[in-house]
Structure 1
Amino acid sequence: MRQTILAVLSLSTLAVLLTGCGGDMVLLNNKGPVGQGQSSLMMTAIYLMLLVVIPSIVMALWFGWKYRASNKDADYKPTWAHSTAIEIVVWGIPVIIIGILAWLTWWGSHKYDPYRPLESDKAPLTIQVIAEQFKWIFIYPEQNIATVNEVRFPEQTPVSFKITSNFTMNSFFIPQLGGQIYAMAGMQTHLHLLADEPGVFRGISANYSGYGFSQMRFKAHSVTDAEFAQWVEAVKSGQGNTVVVDENGTTAIQKGTLDQAELATLKDGNRSKHQIDALVARAKTPEEKKAAEEMKPYPTEPHAVTYYSSVEPKLFESVINHYMSNYHGADHSASAEHATDAHTNDEHATASAEE
C-alpha cells in the first residue's frame, strides 16, 4: 500500500513538472475567442469524463477495502449474478455522457471551424503564410510587405491566415490564440484568429519536419491599430529595423523586395551536419567527396527576423502552383481574357436577337 501511494505521488509530481508548474500553460491561458472557446470545450469534456472516472476510482478503492480478506463482516453472496439497478447506472450514465460529448463535438467543430470567418465590426486582415524549409514567411498582400519568423496584427481585428508550404507538410500553431492547421505543398488551408489584447504570443510548428524542425518558431505580436500602421509604414519605407527592438536589444533585418530569387535564398541547407560528414566519409570518388563538402548544413539557430519592403505580385500563388500540374501552374490570363470576350460577344448577340 505504501509503495502504491509513493508511486501515485511520484507520477503526480512528474505530471505537474511536465505541465510547467509556475510557467505559462498556454493552452489554458488564452488571449482570443477561438482559443478560449476551444479550451472551454476541452475542460468541459474533461469534467464530463471525470463524472465516470472519479466514481470508478473511488468504488474500486472502496470495494477493495470492504471486501478484503480480514473483513469478516462483509456480505458473501457466491450465487449473486445480476442487478438491474447496477446495470442502469454503469451503462446509462456513460451513454448520457457520450451523447453530451457527441453534441459538444458536433457544435464545437462547426463553431470553431478554422475556415469559418470570425464575427467582428472590423474588416479582417489577410496574411499569407508559407512554411519554408525550417522558417515561416508571412506576406501581407494588402500592405505589400513580408516578414520572416515574425507576424504582427492589430488587436481586436480578425486575422485571416492563408497557409501553404514550400517544403514538406507542416503545421501552423499559435497556441494562445487557437488551434493548429496543416500547411501542405500545392494546397491552401485557412485559419481565422483574433487577439483580445496586445501581447506577444509564441508561434510554433506542431508537425515534425526534419532536423531543423526545432528552429521553426516565431513570435506573433498583437499591437494597437496605431502601432500596426506605424510598423507597416516603416517596413514599406525600408526602416522597419529602426522601430522594432526585441527584449535582447536585437533589431530585425530590413531588406527590399521578396521575389522568386530572394525566396530561393531562404532555403536552409541540404543535410544535417552529421549527414554531410557521413557522406564525405563514404565518398568513393573525389567528385562525390567534393559534392558532399559543398553541401550546406541545416541551421542550428532560428532564422533572424527579416522585413521586406515589397513583395513580388502573386508570389504566394506561385508557390502553390509550383507543386501542381502544368494546368494549374500555367498562365491562363490570355485564355481567361478570351473567354471573357467571348462571353461578352454572346451577350451582345443575344441582346440583338431579342431586339
Structure 2
Amino acid sequence: MRQTILAVLSLSTIAALLTGCGGDMVLLNSKGPVAQGQSDLMMTAIYLMLLVVIPSILMALWFGWKYRSSNKDADYKPTWAHSTAIEIVVWGVPVIIIGILAWLTWWGSHKYDPYRPIDSDKAPLTVQVIAEQFKWIFIYPEQEIATVNEIRFPEKTPVNLRLTSNFTMNSFFIPALSGQIYTMAGMQTHLHLLADETSPAEGYRGFSSNYSGYGFSQMRFRAHSVTEAQFADWVAAVKAGNGTSINPEAIQKGILDQAEFATLRDGNRSHHQIEVLIAKATTPEEKAAAEAMKPYPTKPHPVTYYSSVEKGLFESVINKYMSNYHGADHSATAGAHGAAANAHAAVEPASSAVGE
C-alpha cells in the first residue's frame, strides 16, 4: 500500500511539473482577448467534464468500500439486473454535458475564428509573416520595413497577420495572445490578435508548434507589445537604419529584396547528415556537392531589422509555389529551383542511405 501511495504521489508531481505548475502557465495567464477567450473556453470544458469524472471516481471508491467482503451490512442482491433511475443518470447527465460542449465548441469556433477580425475603434496593423527555414520573417507593408525573429505592435491595437511559408508547413503560435495557425507554401492564412497591455521587456514567447525538420527548435521569436509612441519611434529608427538604438542586440540592414531574402535560407542538412553524405559519396561530384552544403542552425537566427522592403515580396513567395494557378511568369525562379533540384539529385543516392 505504501509503495502504491508513493508511486501515485511521484506521478502526480511529475505531471504537475510537466504541465507547468509553478512555472510559466502562459495558457492560463493570457494577455489578450483572443487568448483569454480561448483559455476560458478550455477551462469551461474541463469543468463540465469534471462533473462526470469526479463523481465517477468518488462512486468507484465508495462502492469498493461499501461492498467490501468484510462489510456484512451491505445489501446482497445477486439477481439485480436493471434500474431505470440509474440508467437515466448514467446516460442522461453525459448526454446533457456533451450537448453543452457541442454548443460551446460551435460558438467558440465562430467567436475565435482566426479569420475573424477583432472589433476595435482603432485601425488594425497589418503584418505579413513568412515561415522561412528556420526563422520567422515579418513584413510591415504599410511601414515598409521588415524584421527577422521579432515582431512589434502597439498595445490595444488589432494586429492582422497574413501568413505563408517558404518551405514546409509550419505553425505560428504566440500562446499569450492567440491560438496557433498553420503556414503553408503557396497559401495564405490569417490570424488576428490584440494585446491588452504592454509586454515585459523580453516580450512574449513566439515559436513554431509544428515539427518541420532539424532546425525546428530554433524557430523562436519575441513579440513586443509597446505603446503607440514607442512603436512609432521604433519604426522611425528602423527606417533610418538605427534600429539598434531600440534593440542593441539586433542587426540593422538595408533593403530586404529578393537577393537578400534568398540568403535567409538556412542549411541543407544536419551536421551528421552532411558527414555521412561526404563519407558515402561515390564520385567527386557527389562529394563536392555534399561539401558545399550548409548545416542547419544550432541556435535561433539573430533579430534583424531591414530599413526597407521590396514591394510584393510576400506575394511573390506565394506565387512561386502557385504560378500555374495565378498565371504569373516565374521562369527565372523555376530555373533557380531546377538548378537546386539537380544539385540535390546529385547527392540523393547517398542521402537515401542516411534516412531523411
Provide TM-score, normalisation by structure 1: 0.90
Which stretch shows the higher mean deviation, 37-46 or 283-292? 283-292
1:272 aligns with 2:275: no
**CA 294–284 in structure 1, closer or farther in 2 if over 3 Å, else same:** same
Which stretch shows the higher mean deviation, 144-153 or 234-243? 234-243
SS at match of 2:294: coil
Residue aligning to 1:78 = 78
Matches within 5 A, 1:238-317: 238-245=241-248, 251-317=249-315
What amino acid does structure 2 have at the position aligned with 1:99? Answer: G
Query: In the TM superposition, what is the alpha-carbon distance from 1:329 to its structure 2 partner?
Result: 5.0
Residue aligning to 1:43 = 43
Residue aligning to 2:60 = 60
Residue aligning to 1:335 = none
- Could you tell me whether the CA contact under 8 Å between 1:322 and 1:329 is conserved in 2? no
SS at match of 2:190: strand
Which stretch shows the higher mean deviation, 39-48 or 291-300? 291-300
Matches within 5 A, 1:304-343: 304-330=302-328
1:237 aligns with 2:257: no
SS at match of 1:219: strand
**CA 198–30 in structure 1, closer or farther in 2 if over 3 Å, else same:** same
Residue aligning to 1:120 = 120
Matches within 5 A, 1:19-168: 19-168=19-168
SS at match of 2:171: strand
- Could you tell me whether the CA contact under 8 Å between 2:323 and 2:329 is conserved in 1? no
Paired positions, count: 327
What amino acid does structure 1 have at the position aligned with 2:23? Answer: G
Query: In the TM superposition, what is the alpha-carbon distance from 1:100 to its structure 2 partner?
Result: 0.5
Query: In the TM superposition, what is the alpha-carbon distance from 1:292 to its structure 2 partner?
Result: 1.0
Residue aligning to 2:179 = 179
Alpha-carbon separation, structure 2, partners of 1:328 and 1:95: 48
1:86-122 C-alpha deviation (Å, 9 max, x unpaired): 0111011001100100110011000000000000110
What amino acid does structure 2 have at the position aligned with 1:228? Answer: F
Q: 5+ unaligned residues in a row in structure 1: which ranges?
A: 246-250, 333-355
- Could you tell me whether the CA contact under 8 Å between 1:127 and 1:162 is conserved in 2? yes
Structure number with greater Rg is 1
- Could you tell me whether the CA contact under 8 Å between 1:318 and 1:329 is conserved in 2? no
SS at match of 1:330: coil
Identity level (%): 83
Provide TM-score, normalisation by structure 2: 0.90
Alpha-carbon separation, structure 2, partners of 1:288 and 1:116: 50
Alpha-carbon separation, structure 1, partners of 2:157 and 2:172: 19
